[in-house]
A and B are shown apart, each in its own frame.
Chain A
Amino acid sequence: MKHRFEILVQLKPGLLDPQGKAVLGALPAMGWTNVSDVRVGKHVALTVDAESEEAARAQVEEMATRLLSNPLIESYRILAAKQVGG
């Protein structure tokens, strides 16, 4: 069974996010002066072929820890998981 996952990777809260800061810096010039605390992350979508959603999820957790994120500086969250055709 194929399972589609969406994973969000972000810099950990204690770390300054230079990209978020740059986006925040650009917003007032466009008229939005009421925005604060911008964080830029990465969105990864992938499909895993596995026996069960449980097995697929366990694999996604391992992949997220070992490759998709660097646990020293980033955290990840699985945003969505659903079974797909095939």
Chain B
Amino acid sequence: MSERRPRVGVVTFPGSLDDRDALRAIAFMGGEGVPLWHAEHDLKGVDAVLLPGGFSYGDYLRTGAIARFAAIMGEVRDFAEAGAPVVGVCNGFQILCEAGLLPGALIRNRTLRFICRSVDVRIETSLSPLTEGLVPGEVLRIPVKHGEGQFVASRGDLEQIEGEGLVAFRYCAPDGTVDDEFNVNGSANSIAGVRNARGNVVGLMPHPEHAVDPDVGPTGGQPLLASLLSRALMRV
């Protein structure tokens, strides 16, 4: 075991909100959070990259549409294509979809309302940087806070996503039942997060970084970030 703590880079875009929470959560879980800046072509030698939540570029045009062209995104793409772990949370998920690093897209919630509450999500795969070592079927309680989290894809893309097992998380009941009643934002097939085919890039709307400290709420984010740190550690 290396003495070095895994270093997870967190990119700050103009309008990012959860970058500091993500850095704190990574440290809380025993890693080293490394602040990265959108305008620099530099990942500072990190072992994993996390794109945080927020409203980069004011969500203008489409969520994530402008941020995907930020200077650092070239390096993030190369990093992902080299097989390194990349995670997108909320707006970070939207950015990864816009960049084509993850399938599908995110549009306005079915209810048109901004949703801010804790939800239950079911793990669907252990082949992602957030779910390694977790058992599909396991349910975690994690907060969501978004206005545009409805996952959509064309019929053909959706079949491919399901067929290849690229769904990483689904909204569900506390006992793991997937039903439209628990589908907070109207996502196709209750999809809360997806991974890429290679299994090194994953995105989700719920916020694991807001769910690590028992003093302030549910701790469903702990196993996810622990998985990310152990995946990052393999690269140390």
Which label, helix, strand, loop or mixed, suits the secondary structure of the B interface?
Answer: loop
CB of A35 within 8 Å of the partner chain: no
Q: Which of A11, A12, A18, A68 contacts B110 (CB 8 A)?
A: A18
Q: Which residue of B lies closest to A12 (CB)?
A: B154
Partner of A70, one of B62, B111, B150, B157: B62
Once the chains are docked, how many angstroms separate the CA of A16 from the CA of B187? 11
Please state if A70 and B108 are interface contacts (CB–CB under 8 Å).
Answer: no
Q: Is the CB of A18 within 8 A of B109?
A: yes
User: What total of chain A residues lie within 8 Å of the partner, measured CB to CB?
Assistant: 15
Q: Which residue of the partner chain, among A22, A68, A70, contacts B112 with CB atoms under 8 Å? A: A22
What are the residues of chain B within 8 A of A70 when measuring CB–CB?
Answer: 62, 65, 98, 105
Could you mark each residue 80-117 of chain B with 1 if its beta carbon is under 8 Å from any beta carbon of chain A, else 0? 00000000000000000010000011011111100000
Size category of the binding interface on chain B: 20 to 34
Distance (Å) between the CB of B125 and the closest chain A CB? 22
Chain B 50-73 interface mask (CB, 8 Å, partner A; 1/0): 000000000001100100010000
B61 touches A15 (CB 8 A): no
List of A residues within 8 angstroms of B109 by Cβ = 18
Interface residues of B in 18-61 (CB under 8 A from A): 61
Contact B61 A18 (CB under 8 A): no
The yes or no answer to A73 lying at the interface (CB within 8 A) is: yes
Q: Considering the complex, give the chain A residue whose CB is closest to the CB of B103.
A: A72
B105: min CB distance to chain A, Å: 5
Q: Do A18 and B157 touch (CB < 8 A)?
A: no
A11 and B157 CA atoms in complex are apart in Å by 16
**Docked pose: A11 CA to B105 CA in angstroms:** 12
A15: contacting residue among B98, B107, B111, B112, CB under 8 A: B107
What's the nearest-Cβ distance from chain A to residue B69, in Å?
Answer: 8
What per-residue 1/0 map shows which CB atoms of B140-159 lie under 8 Å from chain A? 00000000001011110100
- Chain A interface (Cβ within 8 Å of chain B)? 11-12, 14-16, 18-19, 21-22, 42, 67-68, 70, 72-73
